[in-house]
Structure formats: C-alpha cells, structure tokens
C-alpha cells in the first residue's frame, strides 16, 4: 500500500521479546539505536529502495555502514595460538624481591596488580577442538604502575628449537599440509615427524608433548613457564638470572588419550567452558608465581647452557622461590574485544626485567610486535582497551592507522625549545638496559654448548612414573603410525634410541619395525642425570577433589536423600556434583520429589567428570541398561580408570557393558555403597585415577 502524499510514515515501534511475548519498549537515549556516528536510526529492518520493490540506493549510508562493519568483523586469526580462552584477575605480591629486581610490582607484599591471562593451543585453528594433543600457551599481561609487563610462555618449560630463525619451519611442518589443508590441530602426520627426525634438538620437547602434559584435564590445572632465562636487575644495578614458573593451586591433572578423543566429540569447548563456568561460579583459578634465580657463576657451572631454550634447570638443582600469586576472578565481557584483540609481546617489560642472548628469545622480541601490526591493523593497537597500560602514557608518536587519541600542541619532536611540557626522557626513572659486555665475530653458528640434544630428554623420560612412561610410548606409536613414509618412522625411532633404549625398542615394536635399532648420530654424548620427580605429574600429585566434578547417574525411583547427602559431601570437598538422567527435565525420586538434571544421559557422558556415582533404582537400572549412552557412561568411566560408586540397581549396566562388579579387594576404584560409605568413595576419588586397572583396559606397547 502506497503512503499518502505529503504525510510522513508512522515511526516504527521498538518491540522487544519478553517471555515469549512482545511489548513496546520505552525509547530513551540509552536504548536508541544509532549509527557509528551517533545518528539515531529510524528503520533497521529495510534498505532504502526506489519504491517497495525497486533497486537499493547507493546513498543508503546506514546499510553500507552496517554491512561494511559486518564484513570486517573478523580479523586474521593468530598464525599460532589461534584458539584461546582468557580471563581478568589480579597478581598479588607475597614477598618483596627488591634484592634481585627493581620491578615495581614485586616490591610490596600484599599489593595487587591487575592482569589479563590468555590460555591457548598452538597448532590448531580458531575453530579447532580444545583437547588436541598440543602445547598450551600461558600468557599473562600485568598492568603495572610502571607499564605493561607481558610474560608470554607455555605449559611446558622448554621449546622445540634453539633459534627463532627455525620457527617458521617448525610451524609449517606442524600445521596442515599446504596442498590439502589437513590434518587440523594435530602433529600425527609426515611433515611434522619428518622435521623432528632431522632436528634432534627437538627431542626433549617431543618427550613433553607426547606426555600427559599435552592433554590437560583443565586450563586451571596446568603449570606455566616463561621458558627463557631472563635477567633481573635490582636498584643497585646487580644482575641475577631467573626463570619464571606458574604453579596451579588445584594441582595438575590430565586426561587419558581415549578420553581426550571422546571429549572433543562430546564438547569441543570443554576447556573454555570449564574455565568460564569456574569463574562464573566463584571458583576462581589460582596460581603461585615462583622464580628460579641463579648467578652468572652458577650458570657457568651447569653442564648445559642457560641460553638454550631446549633445556631446563631441575628444581633439585635450583629450588623455586614463591614470590606471588595470580587469581582469575572475572570473565571477559566481550570475547572479540578482549580475548581476540589482546596483543602480547615479549618485548613488553618493566624496569628491573631484562633480556638475555637466548637466540629464540631474541627472535621473539621482533616477531610479536610484527604480527600484531598485521593482525590488528596498524601501530596503534596498544590503544585498544584491553592492551592499554593502566598508568600514564605520554610520548611523541603520532597519527597512524586507527589513531584513537587526539594529541595536542605544535611540537611532536624532542629535543625542543618550543614545547616545555612535552614528554622528555628521564635518566633517573627511565628503563636502563643492563650493560652486559659483548664481543666477537659476526657469525651464523650454533654454540658448542647447545650440542647435547638428548641428555635432558632422557632425564624427562626417566623421571616419569610407569603409567606416564607407558603413555609416552603409546603416544609415539599412535602419532608415528599416522605417518605414511617408512623413512620418517624409522628415522624418529633412531633418534629415540639416543634418549632411551627401552623407549626406542617399545616404540619400534609398536610400529612393527624389524631388526636392530641403530641410534642416529649424536653431536654430543648422552649422559645420565638423577631423576627429577618434579617433572612428573603423578609423582608430585596430592589427593584432592578441589575443582573437580562428580557425575551422578540417576533414574526414576532414585534415593533422593542419598543424592542430597552425596551433593553436600562433594561440595564440602570443594568439588561439584552434576546430575545425569534419562531426560533433561530430571527424575522423580523414591520420595516423590522432582530431582532436576544437569544433563540428559547422551549429552552428559562420563568423560565430562572426574569420578562417577551410579545411583539408579533397580527398575531404573534395568531401563538404563537398554540405553547405549548409559551403558557407555559406565563402560567409559571404567576404561578411563575413574572411581565409580554404585548401588545394586546399577548391576545391569555393568553386565550390559561387559564388566565385572568387583570388590574393593580387586579394584579399589569400585565402591559399593551397600558395603562402603560416601566417605570411602570421595577418598578414593580424591586419589585420582586407578592406574593398576590400566593393563585390563588397553594394551601398552
């Protein structure tokens, strides 16, 4: 219907859905839709056209602005560390370290510094799954009173390579093959292992990524490391070397490989969801910040080079000094604005923290700034709110793409006699680089002190418990079995022979390789070192349920009082109980009450939980046994070595799953609530997985 001539159309009414109904919302400045220039929009439903059915007019600037902004909503994802999760929080200084550094945020016990922390995988693209076998990035931006300090590291204390010039080759080899763009987020392919077979310096890192460290249970349960040797400088100008360590309050925990695969299917966002929900629920993740500090004389006495990023310093050699703690207590308000646009840079340091000649670190000092210029559009990315320092920023840098400020005045240079109030250097408070003496020829060489590639790889493997060693063997067999080129498999096994004879023999057997293994040529002899239990997840694990989740499988007729008692006991232990039922609406208890469910059984598999309780009624257990998802709930919990509490009503589930209902004498992870107590169940669950069960459920090469 055409509009009457000379009569403006009726203004559109703004309708908002509320509980399934539409109502008119009162218009006000805080709700009025505008363009990016602040112009109120009269119609956000229709383009400007020539007549109702005519062509759209180019002059529709509202349409063009909206579409243009939408077209550019995505920025290039990070080449590495693309898939990330992050949170706000604070760092609290626990001990003054003025004796070794003048870094302001480490001077006053009790003082808190805002932080933003991002965790990530490395190899996968932004849309990949959380439980890929991979390194986890662990980057922290400290908003200190003297500028931003970025501690940009990983959950593994060493790296693949000595020199940053090899980083593009490493990542090209680990990423998808360029001709086919797969496999995604995994290293189980020829190009990665071909590179490893020809780069023996990577073998130490390979031991770590083939270990359970690469498939963590939660981002709240990983360690973090600055990787490099940093130089700390105190107010008197004295230098001390340091390595940075983050240690989780909840302790470390990992999943088993089959569990990781099923978690990726059940919930590709498992780590993201876990971190978000923990913070939203008030269970704030916490880490200790500890330092390993040592002098130049100590560094010279080590039998490895502290500038070699493929090496670590065992804690038995240099103990950790706890200097602070980090608490993450607030989720991002907008993923893109904060988590995606945060720009970390190794070069962001404060007075009292300086660099060393680690060639990997030296290359990172260039790379991070360069990549942010590409991703975030220009030199002013530091003006994005998440990247802004929380102290005064004053300099003479001007203009550039996306300049957000409005610098005033005629003078944008110094020295100047025309601008008495312009920013000027300060010899008293400005950053000073430590005056380390340097001399030598200009050469492209590796120092001989970097030549031992296998001693610390051997140390790591020897420091693992038996289950952890088995997992490393299994991971190597799995990954190398995905390589199509026999030469690649054989060459890697030859390198492994320099790490440990038994390791290489077991991997070769798992791959079906015949004949005697000849170790690859080594640049330096491999030595034995005393095992370091601190390198093992299991050796230093302490019993706890803090931060864990218990899954409770129920049915109609379930004992509601028992569930309530279990829930109270679980929460008292610092864990959470989630109810899994045949229907998401819940079940009716034996007392006639509604017990709401957190998950429908096919959407709440046991892989989501650290331990499970099977509490169906006898009739309900028989019905659940007809549901494959319920049977798999029990079968997977058993196969993933979890502690299982059960009532007699769950017996059909064990039978259908082909499992024997054993007693605690034969399997301490099976707790009958007829014979045992909830306390027995929680004590067993706090101990973690039932490792003696593992030989019953999977073959280990």
Torsion of CA 522, 528, 530, 534, to 10 degrees: 20
* pLDDT of res. 75: 87
Identify the pLDDT of residue 109: 98
Closest CA to 263 of 219, 217, 214: 217
Instruction: Look at strands 147-154 and 136-144 and give their pairing.
Output: antiparallel
The predicted model gives 651-658 an average pLDDT of 95
Query: Which of 566, 595, 588, 583 has the alpha carbon at shortest distance from 680?
Result: 566
Sign of the four-CA dihedral 233, 238, 242, 245: negative
- Active-site hit among 154, 264, 380, 632: 154
Joined together, the tokens standing for residue 323 give 């200097």
Q: Are 454 and 499 in contact (CB under 8 A)?
A: yes
- CA dist 152 and 225 (Å) reads 8
Tell me the average pLDDT across 641-652.
97
Query: Does residue 17 have a pLDDT over 60?
Result: no
Q: Which residue of the set 81, 189, 271, 471 is catalytic?
A: 81
* Residue whose entry in the numeric block shows the structure tokens 């062509």: 55
Closest CA to 148 of 424, 390, 405: 390
- Type and span of the H or E element at 15: strand 15-18
pLDDT of residue 25 exceeding 70:
no
- What tokens does 629 get? 């998802």
Task: Give residue 550's pLDDT band: very low, low, confident or very high (50, 70, 90).
Answer: very high
Distance CA 103, CA 242 (A): 13
Structure tokens given for 326: 């980090």
Q: How many other CB atoms are found less than 10 A from the CB of residue 679?
A: 10
Residue 153 is predicted with a pLDDT of: 98
Are the beta carbons of 137 and 130 closer than 8 angstroms?
no
Which residue, 537, 604, 16, 526, is CA-closest to 273?
604
148-181 pLDDT tens trace: 999 999 999 999 999 999 999 999 999 999 999 9
pLDDT value, residue 16: 35
Q: Which residue has the higher pLDDT, 1 or 127?
A: 127
- Compute the half-sphere exposure of residue 95: CA atoms within 13 Å on the CB side of its CA: 10
What the block records as the tokens of 356 is 């060393």
154 counts as catalytic: yes
Residue 382 backbone zone (phi > 0: left; psi -120 to 50: alpha; other: beta): alpha
What does the pLDDT read at residue 77? Answer: 93
What pLDDT, on the 0 to 100 scale, is given for residue 29?
A: 57
Which tens digit of pLDDT belongs to each residue from 43-75?
Answer: 888 888 888 888 888 898 888 888 877 788 888
> Would you state the pLDDT for residue 662?
58
**Residue 552 — φ and ψ, nearest 5°?**
-120, 110
Say what the pLDDT of residue 621 is. 97
Percent of the chain at pLDDT > 70 equals 95
| Higher-pLDDT residue of 469, 55 | 469
Cα–Cα distance, 462 to 284 (Å, whole number): 35
The answer to whether 144 and 391 have CB atoms below 8 angstroms apart is yes
Structural domain boundaries in the chain: 17-73, 84-387, 456-535, 549-697
Distance CA 650, CA 661 (A): 10
Give me the DSSP letters along 119-177.
EEESSS-TTS-TTSS--EEEEEEEEETTEEEEEEEESSSS-S-SSGGGHHHHHHHHS--
What are the tens digits of pLDDT across the range 557-591? 999 999 999 999 999 999 999 999 999 999 999 99
Cα gap 388→480, rounded to integer Å: 45
Looking at the DSSP bridge assignments, the partners of residue 553 are 580, 614
Cβ(81)–Cβ(175) below 8 Å: no
Q: Is the pLDDT of residue 548 over 70?
A: yes
Alpha-helical runs (H) found in 267-391: 270-280, 296-301, 359-375
CA distance 122 to 565: 42
Lowest mean pLDDT segment, chosen from 85-89, 374-378, 489-493, 631-635: 374-378
CATH number for the 84-387 domain, one of 3.40.640.10, 1.10.10.10, 3.40.50.300, 2.40.180.10?
2.40.180.10
What are the pLDDT digits (tens) for 633-645?
999 999 999 999 9
Class for the domain spanning 456-535: mainly alpha
- pLDDT, tens digit, 9 for 90 and up, residues 107-125: 999 999 999 999 999 999 9
Q: Where are the strands (E) in 208-253, listed by range?
A: 224-225, 230-233, 239-248
Residues 157 and 318: beta-carbon distance below 8 Å: no
Confidence class for position 28, pLDDT limits 50, 70, 90: low
Q: Strand (E) positions, 529-604? A: 549-553, 576-581, 587-588, 594-595, 599-600
Comparison of pLDDT for 148 and 34, the residue scoring more? 148
User: Structure tokens of 225?
Assistant: 């490391």
- List, for residues 360-370, the tens digit of each pLDDT value: 999 999 888 88
Which strand (E) or helix (H) includes residue 115? strand 112-121
Query: Residue 408 has what pLDDT?
Result: 86
CA angle 127/128/132 to nearest 5° reads: 160
* pLDDT exceeds 70 at position 9: no
pLDDT tier at 416, thresholds 50, 70, 90: confident
Q: Is the pLDDT of residue 594 over 60?
A: yes
Tell me the HSE value of 211 on the side-chain side, using a 13 A CA sphere.
27
pLDDT at 15 over 70: no
Which two structure tokens, joined as six digits, stand for 602? 């096919």
Sequence-distant (6+) residues with CB within 8 A of 273 are: 267
Q: Which fold has domain 549-697?
A: Rossmann fold (3.40.50)
For residues 605 and 33, which has the higher predicted lDDT (pLDDT)?
605
**Count of CA atoms in the C-beta half-sphere (13 A) of 321:** 15
Q: Which long-range contacts (CB under 8 A, 24 or more apart) does 592-598 make?
A: 593/560, 595/554, 595/558, 595/560, 595/563, 597/554
Beta strands in 277-316 (DSSP E): 286-294
* pLDDT given at position 663: 57
Is the model's pLDDT at 147 over the cut of 80? yes
Judged against a pLDDT cut of 90, whether residue 462 lies above it is answered with yes
**4-8, 202-206, 655-659: which has the minimum mean pLDDT?**
4-8
Q: What is the largest CA-CA distance in the chain?
A: 96
Q: How far, in Å, are 11, 304, 358, 509 from residue 159 at the CA level?
A: 63, 15, 12, 28
Topology, domain 17-73? Cytochrome C Oxidase; Chain J (4.10.91)
Residues 136, 327, 682: CA angle, nearest 5 degrees = 80
Share of the chain above pLDDT 90, in %: 77
- The confidence score (pLDDT) of residue 617 equals 97
Query: Which pLDDT value is given to residue 272?
Result: 98
- pLDDT confidence band for 19 (50 / 70 / 90): very low
Partners of residue 292 on adjacent β-strands? 243
pLDDT at residue 664 tops 60: no
Average pLDDT over residues 615-631: 97
pLDDT at 6 over 60: no
Q: Please, what is the end-to-end C-alpha distance for the chain in angstroms?
A: 78
Q: Which residues contact 248 (CB under 8 A, 6 or more apart)?
A: 220, 221, 222, 223, 285, 286, 287
- Return the minimum-mean-pLDDT range out of 6-20, 407-421, 669-683: 6-20
| Mean pLDDT, the chain, whole residue set | 92
What torsion do the CA atoms of 300, 352, 437, 311 make, to the nearest 10 degrees? 30
Tell me the mean pLDDT in the region 118-138: 97
């Amino acid at each position: 219907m055409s509009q009457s001539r000379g009569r403006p159309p009726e203004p559109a009414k703004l309708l908002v859905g509320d509980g399934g109904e539409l109502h008119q919302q009162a218009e006000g400045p805080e709700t009025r839709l505008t363009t990016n220039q602040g112009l109120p929009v009269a119609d956000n439903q229709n383009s400007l056209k020539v007549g109702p059915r005519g062509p759209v007019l180019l002059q529709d600037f509202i349409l063009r602005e909206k579409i243009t902004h939408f077209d550019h909503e995505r920025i290039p994802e990070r080449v590495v560390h693309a898939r990330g999760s992050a949170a706000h929080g604070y760092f609290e200084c626990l001990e003054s370290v003025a004796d070794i550094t003048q870094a302001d945020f480490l001077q006053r016990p009790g003082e808190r510094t805002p932080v933003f922390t991002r965790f990530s995988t490395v190899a996968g693209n932004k849309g990949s799954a959380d439980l890929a076998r991979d390194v986890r990035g662990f980057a922290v931006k400290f908003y200190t009173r003297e500028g931003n300090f970025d501690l940009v590291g990983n959950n593994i204390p060493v790296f693949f390579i000595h020199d940053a010039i090899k980083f593009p080759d490493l990542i090209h080899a680990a990423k998808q093959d360029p001709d086919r763009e797969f496999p995604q987020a995994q290293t189980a392919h020829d190009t990665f292992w071909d590179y490893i077979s020809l780069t023996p310096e990577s073998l130490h890192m390979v031991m770590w990524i083939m270990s359970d460290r690469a498939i963590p249970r939660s981002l709240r349960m990983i360690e973090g490391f600055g990787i490099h040797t940093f130089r700390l400088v105190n107010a008197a100008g004295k230098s001390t070397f340091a390595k940075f360590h983050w240690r989780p309050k909840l302790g470390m925990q990992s999943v088993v490989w089959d569990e990781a695969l099923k978690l990726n299917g059940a919930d590709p966002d498992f780590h993201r969801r876990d971190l978000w929900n923990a913070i939203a629920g008030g269970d704030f993740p916490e880490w200790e910040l500890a330092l390993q500090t040592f002098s130049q004389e100590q560094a010279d006495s080590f039998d490895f080079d502290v500038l070699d990023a493929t090496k670590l310093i065992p804690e038995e050699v240099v103990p950790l000094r706890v200097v602070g703690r980090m608490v993450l207590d607030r989720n991002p308000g907008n993923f893109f604005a904060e988590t995606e646009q945060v720009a970390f840079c190794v070069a962001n340091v404060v007075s009292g923290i300086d660099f060393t000649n680690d060639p990997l670190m030296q290359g990172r000092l260039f790379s991070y700034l360069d990549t942010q210029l590409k991703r975030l559009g220009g030199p002013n990315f530091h003006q994005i709110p998440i990247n802004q320092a929380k102290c005064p920023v004053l300099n003479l840098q001007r203009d550039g793409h996306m300049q957000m400020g409005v610098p005033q005045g005629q003078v944008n240079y110094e020295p100047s006699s025309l601008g008495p109030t312009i920013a000027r250097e300060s010899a008293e408070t400005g950053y000073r680089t430590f005056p380390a003496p340097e001399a030598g020829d200009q050469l492209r060489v590796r120092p001989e002190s970097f030549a031992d590639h296998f001693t610390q790889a051997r140390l790591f493997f020897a420091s693992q418990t038996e289950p952890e060693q088995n997992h490393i063997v299994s991971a190597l067999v799995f990954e190398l079995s995905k390589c199509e080129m026999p030469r690649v498999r054989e060459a890697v096994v030859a390198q492994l022979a320099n790490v440990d004879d038994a390791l290489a023999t077991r991997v070769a057997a798992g791959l079906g390789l015949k004949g005697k293994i000849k170790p690859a040529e080594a640049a330096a002899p491999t030595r034995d070192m005393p095992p370091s239990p601190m390198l093992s997840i299991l050796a230093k694990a302490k019993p706890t349920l803090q931060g864990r989740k218990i899954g409770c499988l129920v049915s109609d007729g379930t004992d509601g009082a028992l569930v309530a008692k279990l829930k109270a006991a679980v929460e008292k232990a610092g864990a959470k109980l989630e109810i899994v039922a045949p229907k998401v609406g819940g079940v009716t208890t034996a007392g006639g009450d509604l017990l709401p469910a957190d998950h429908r059984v096919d959407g709440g598999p046991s892989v989501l939980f650290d331990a499970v309780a099977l509490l169906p009624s006898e009739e309900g257990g028989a019905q659940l046994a007809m549901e494959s998802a319920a049977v798999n709930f029990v079968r997977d919990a058993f196969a993933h070595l979890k502690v299982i509490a059960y009532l007699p009503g769950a017996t059909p589930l064990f039978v259908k799953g082909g499992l024997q209902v054993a007693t605690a004498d034969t399997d301490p992870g099976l707790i009958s609530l007829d014979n045992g107590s909830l306390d027995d169940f929680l004590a067993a669950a706090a101990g973690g997985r039932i490792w003696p069960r593992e030989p019953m459920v999977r073959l280990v090469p």
